[in-house]
Structure 1
Amino acid sequence: MLIASAGVYFAAEFIAAAAWTDPPYSYTHHFISNLGVHGPTVAFGQFMYSPLAWVMNTGFVLFGLIALTGVVLLRGLPGKRRRLSVLLAVLLAAGGVTLGFFPGSGETAGSGTDYHGLGAFAAFFSGNLLSILIGGAYRALGFSRRLGIGLKVAGVCGLLSIPAYMAVLASEAGILIGLVERGIVDPFLVGFLVVGAALRRT
């Protein structure tokens, strides 16, 4: 399930990005959320037009729910750590579902509650904290110390990318904003893939 959660996300992202051809979608320049906005529209200084927006939004929802299932199915975590991991996974799932149902076109940002932004940051923090938590439980879960350290490093890198993302966002320059945003998300997703594969082998 952990492998599938990351696989669904990356597949949805690739398919939606490949369909965006006029102009081509840029992984380094465009926000991830742009892939879930059909448009055409302009928001946050970027042109948004994703012909297969429904694919990305479905991917957001499925990714969160499948990741939650994977964490719930983990065996060996001690009581407090298990409760915390499930809580973080619930927050991650809630973030993914919110992203899917409230595309990031900026329409809700001016209404007083930016649901898309709330969902994004819920996923940003919970996903990376979950990576650190699972990495610290490598003995209980039965995978290698090296992988445990790798998961912790991935989570820390993701968390450190959040202030960098906010700084680029506040500058309004938009330089490599898509790359910086992926620095938040991709590390813990890759961590899910790797730890899922390790657990499957054991």
Structure 2
Amino acid sequence: MSENVLQNAAHHQPRSSSAPGNRRAGTVLMASAAIYFSAEFIAAAAWTDPPYSYTHHFISNLGVHGPTTAFGQFMYSPLAWVMNTGFVLFGLTALAGVVLLRGLPGKRRRLHLLLAVLLAAGGVTLGFFPGSGETPADGVDYHALGAFAAFLGGNVLSILLGGAHRALGFSRRLGIGLKVAGVYGLLSIPAYLAVTASEKGILIGLVERGIVDPFLIGFLVLGAALRRT
């Protein structure tokens, strides 16, 4: 982070309130991504017969205990509860991190909060409605709704956070990185839908992670930068 950016942030934001608040926000944003990646790793490591594949299997399979078969994939996640708990905690923690951010103007802050709520709602919905392929009684696929809420909320939020680098006091380079991560994630959504519609499922897990992992990594890097602000 350049010295000029820090000086500008100091002129526009009260150091006694904004900087400590954003350091806390940075810690919480890092925690949200860490919760997700930890839950994913633990649940995937417990899936050994046959081994879980990060490139072949859907992410949501980790939240389905099974054993069952859906969408052409065998699902058996012994620690499904870990992944589902991770979905819920990750979403709520990301929301808390955005709530703690200081320095955003009123309208921009409300927009950031709206997207964070969308992301959190998606995470909670994923946790409570595993993607087992079973049709709900009311015919609504809540798991799919939760997934796309998280996809859109997380990636658009990443883009907006990148555009707020001056207000939040981190480098323009990181701001560009956050925007690239969000755009890449959004462009991966149609690729994911195309692979899913093909019913061949070639590298579907890898494509789906192209939607989620970039903005999560962005949260980690942004959180570290805010902690240094």
With the length of structure 2 as denominator, give the TM-score of the two structures. Answer: 0.87
Partner of 1:5: 32
CA distance in 1, matches of 2:214, 2:191: 15
Runs of at least 5 residues in structure 1 that lack an aligned partner in the other structure: none
Answer whether contact 1:108 1:115 (CA < 8 A) is retained: no
| 1:72 equivalenced with 2:96 (yes/no) | no
Alpha-carbon deviation of 1:84?
0.3
Counterparts in 2 of 1:160-179, with a 5 A limit?
A: 160-179=187-206
CA deviation string 1:121-170 (max 9, x = no partner): 00000100000000000000000000000000000000000000000000
Distance 1:192 1:111 in 2: 36
Does the 8 Å CA contact 1:5/1:66 hold for their aligned counterparts? yes
Among residues 147, 157, 161, which one is paired with 1:130 in the alignment? 157
Q: Report the Cα offset of residue 112 of structure 1.
A: 1.5
Indicate whether 1:82 and 2:109 are aligned. Answer: yes
The structure having more radius of gyration, on CA atoms, is: 2
Does the alignment pair 1:112 with 2:139?
yes
Match of 2:47 in 1: 20
CA displacement at 1:111 relative to structure 2? 4.7
Q: How far 1:108 sits from its partner (Å)?
A: 3.2
Match of 2:218 in 1: 191
Q: CA 1:159/1:87 → structure 2, altered by over 3 Å: closer, same or farther?
A: same
In 2, the alpha carbon distance for the partners of 1:196 and 1:173 equals 38
Q: Does 1:152 align with 2:179?
A: yes
Q: Does 1:45 align with 2:72?
A: yes
Unaligned runs of 5+ in 2: 1-27
Q: Determine the C-alpha separation between the residues in 2 that align with 1:182 and 1:167.
A: 15
Report the aligned-residue RMSD: 0.8
Distance 1:126 1:71 in 2: 12
* Alpha-carbon distance in structure 2 between the residues aligned to 1:88 and 1:101: 20
CA distance in 2, matches of 1:82, 1:50: 39
Structure 1 residue runs of 4+, over 6 Å off?
none
Show CA shifts across 1:60-116 (max 9, x none): 000000000000000011111100000000010000000000000011368510000
Count residues in correspondence: 202
Separation (CA, whole Å) in 1 of partners of 2:182 and 2:47: 30
Q: Distance in 2 between matches of 1:110 and 1:159?
A: 31
Q: Distance in 1 between matches of 2:40 and 2:99?
A: 25
The SS at the match of 2:145 is: helix
Q: Distance in 1 between the 2:79 and 2:32 partners?
A: 20
TM-score by length of 1: 0.99
* Larger mean Cα displacement after TM superposition, 14-23 or 71-80: 71-80
Q: Distance in 1 between matches of 2:182 and 2:136?
A: 28
Report percent identity of matched pairs. 87
The separation in 2 between residues aligned to 1:78 and 1:184, in whole angstroms, is 28
SS at match of 1:120: helix
Report the secondary structure of 1:47's partner residue.
strand
